[in-house]
Amino acid sequence: MASVLIDSIQKNYGVTSVLRGVSLSIADGEFLTLLGPSGCGKSTLLRILAGLEVQDAGSVTIGERVVDGLRPKRRDVAMVFQSYALYPHMTVASNIALPLRMRKLSAVRRLPLLGRLLPGTTQVAGEIDEEVTRTAKSLGIGHLLVRKPGQLSGGQRQRVAVGRAMVRNPAIFLMDEPLSNLDAKLRVQMRAEIKELHQGLGVTFVYVTHDQAEAMTLSDRVAVMIDGELLQVAPPQDIYADPDDRRVAEFIGSPKINMLDGVVRERGLIDVAGATLTIETDARPGAALTLGIRPEAFHLADHGGQGSLTGSVRMIEHMGSDLFVHLDLAGIDHPLIVRLLAERAPYITPGQTLHVGVRPDRVLLFARDGRRLRRDAESDWTSVTPFREVAR
Amino acid sequence: MSDTMSTKRLSSLAAILRHAVLLLTGALILLPFVWMISLSIKPPGEIFRASFSFWPSQFYGVENYTKALTEAPLPRYMINGLIVCSLILVLQILVCAPCAYALAKLRFPGRDLLFVMVLVGLLLPHQVLALPLFVFGYQLGILNTYTALIFPYVVSPFGIFLFRQFFKTIHDDVVHAARLDGLSELAIVWRILVPMALPAVIAFSIFSVVGHWNDLFWPLIAVRDQSLMPPPLGIMVFKNEEAGNDFGPLMAASTLIVLPLVIAFLTAQKWFVEGMTGGAVKQ
């Protein structure tokens, strides 16, 4: 059990900067997910935590210890890899036992024949066997101990990898996209099992994924990472509903959030896509903004006019309970995606003109540089550049 | 229906052709060996007879083989070959696997340059180095010893290259997992990577043992003492000194020398083929 403190970590590969001063504090027993598109540096950060890569600057503290320069085995962390990384020439039992053998038996005792002759070896080996059997049983792979990894299915291999990680009671569990190689159904099942594992063990988990569903369902907090920077660290619901940055808003949510460019007409009114929306703003008239509106923030309106957007239906996607309507708005090249309840389906046809209203409190405002503009942060509002300057 | 019939006929025709070609090539390769064995059981008079036959009219095998085993110290040569080949193989694997691991999985300045040097070593024929090695061996004072036969081969560029290529195919995660599990770098090589690269190790062993068992060039330079000679050199000396034009015992000795390799390969064949294909496909 330990907390983790990551302080201004930097990492470069040649001229490419992979991590640009990442700082993050993870509480003891927390489930934190590093979420980001591939190539954003999240796996590199995890490897730095594990000691498999060395950072160019910054430091990592696990528990009370600064672990920079400590070898991976001295850090008391265990890791589960995307590729499982099992040893194919060893049985499941040997795979799970290896970390224990390396820790509990000295080099001499590990010798194939001689080791057995030394007093005490047999007893320790017996304890290890017991530990392995107990771990395997708790993961439901007790009957597979004599098999080799090549004879197991993907889900079983993943369990062995988890078993190998948990058998030595690490202070921190690191997981690098552990579910990516599994099929969709198994992924959902294993997701639940990882959640249970975390609740059962109560140790700190750091989980890397590019799958937002995994991040949202598993985590206490999600750290969204894009281009080597941590953009936001917050509980899943806040990441979704209250993003700090345009890139976070765009990365989270499926279908993607609608981004519409607008200009403040006067206090409380924003011109966007040929319409005017009533949104409480303190920005100066003429300020250029981007409006982020989640597909489900829209509702059907009976008629056009102030406070609603009007467009023609390009396409309708049926998703069972929901309906995604793609609307072409005048003056906007990409369609607006509106999520409606499926019972509306019979009434909507492609080519039809549709009016949609939007709840003002569900509109997220971003500055043109991507920063989120919050109403209570007065300084943000005053610093918004007027539209004319941006256009120039 | 007629389609399948014609396909069948065509495929059986192709099979006949295929087997004919294979049999012919096989026969061409086997012929010298068969001829060697045939000569080894013929009396001297029959060897130079104008008429051709594989089977001798007078079986002279016992005499030839007895002569081969008694007049030359053939068992001694074979033991020498065994000692030299096994020591070379063990040392080669001991040196090559860690080198290959460093070149395949570790990042350090100059790694690519070192690998280029390995490739250069791979390109150099061993004969080119014979003279410098001889001088070197002389200065070390190890000429005419087992060490002289072994030391030039301890570092095998081919072995390093082969192992490095194989280690490259093993996912980095496996190495990372082993480090987290507490294995030292050398333990990673010997307990994880080498067992995983067993097909490469077996293939390399076969190349190495066959190559050094049959090597004549370097032993000819490095040793003079008959009691140190590996089989081919011994045979050559035996031919010059003892046998003269007595080809029967010479062929008998040659047969005896090839025999261990043939037996070893035939027994290992099934396992060898399995090893070469077993790890090839991701299960």
- H, E, C per residue of A266-281: ECCEEEECCEEEECCC
Whether residue B138 contacts residue B145, with contact meaning beta carbons closer than 8 Å, is answered with no
C-alpha to C-alpha distance for A359 and A308, rounded to whole angstroms: 10
Domain that holds residue B79: 72-244
**B152/B234 same-domain check:** yes
Residue-level pLDDT, tens digit, chain A, 392 residues: 689 999 999 999 988 999 999 999 999 999 999 999 988 999 999 999 999 999 999 999 999 899 998 999 889 999 999 999 999 999 999 999 999 999 888 888 887 777 777 888 888 888 999 999 999 999 999 999 999 998 998 889 999 999 999 998 999 999 999 998 888 888 999 999 999 999 999 999 999 999 999 999 999 999 999 999 999 999 999 999 999 999 999 999 888 999 999 998 888 888 888 788 888 877 788 888 999 999 999 988 877 777 788 889 999 998 888 889 999 988 888 899 999 888 876 788 899 998 898 888 889 999 988 899 887 644 444 444 443 333 33
CB contact under 8 A, B176 and A88: no
Token pair 């569900």 in the structure block, residue: A362
CB within 8 Å: B173 and A82 = yes
Spell out which residues of chain A touch residue B196, defining contact as CB-CB under 8 Å.
87-89
**pLDDT given at position A386:** 40
B186 and B150: one domain?
yes
Which sign, positive or negative, has the C-alpha torsion A116, A120, A124, A126?
Answer: positive
> Would the CB atoms of B192 and A87 count as touching at under 8 Å?
yes
Chain A hits for B171, CB-CB cut-off 8 Å, are 83, 85
Q: How far A264 CA sits from the closest chain B CA (Å)?
A: 52
Nearest CB neighbour to B176, from listed A52, A71, A164? A52
pLDDT tens, residue by residue, A149-202: 989 988 899 999 999 999 989 999 999 999 988 888 889 999 999 999 999 999
| ipTM over cut 0.95 | no
B contact residues 156-175, partner A, Cβ 8 Å cutoff: 171, 173-174
Q: What is the pLDDT of residue A106?
A: 82
Domain presence at residue B255:
no
Encoding tokens for residue A161?
């990898």
Same domain? B108 vs B29: no
B131 and B11 assigned to the same domain: no
> Of B270, B230, B234, B265, nearest to B249 (Cα)?
B234
Q: Which residues of B touch A77 (CB under 8 A)?
A: 180
Q: Mutation target for B interface from A87, A90, A162: give the one with most B CBs within 10 A.
A: A87
Asked whether residue B96 falls in the same domain as residue B230, the answer is yes
CA distance to A18, A329, B181, per residue, from A206 (Å): 19, 42, 18
Is residue A253 within 8 Å of residue A331, measured between CB atoms?
no
Is residue B177 one of the residues assigned to a domain?
Answer: yes
Using CA coordinates, name the residue in chain A closest to B195. Answer: A89
pLDDT of residue A55: 93
CATH number at residue B232: 1.10.3720.10
Say whether residue B274 is in contact with chain A using an 8 A CB cutoff. no
The confidence score (pLDDT) of residue B241 equals 66
Taking CB atoms and an 8 Å cut-off, how many pairs form between chains A and B? 59
Mean pLDDT split into 10-residue runs, chain B, 283 residues:
62 91 94 89 79 78 84 88 95 96 94 95 89 92 92 93 93 93 93 90 88 91 88 81 72 89 80 54 39
3-state helix, strand, coil split of chain A in percent (to 5) is: 30, 35, 35
State how many domains chain B has.
2
CA distance A366 to A384: 10
Cβ-defined contact of B176 to A150 (cutoff 8 Å): no
List of domains in chain A: 4-246 (3.40.50.300), 256-391 (2.40.50.100)
User: For A83, which of B173, B180, B192 is closest by C-beta distance?
Assistant: B173
A222: CB partners within 8 A, 6+ apart: A32, A33, A35, A215, A216, A233, A234, A235, A236, A239
- Bridge partners for A259 per DSSP: A292
Q: How far, in Å, CA of A228 to CA of A231, rounded?
A: 9
Q: Are residues B35 and B89 in the same domain?
A: no
Query: Which pLDDT value is given to residue B244?
Result: 62
Same domain, B229 and B141: yes
Is A164 an interface residue toward B (CB < 8 Å)?
yes
Helix (H, G, I), strand (E, B) or coil at A31: strand
Q: How far apart are the first and last CA of chain A?
A: 55
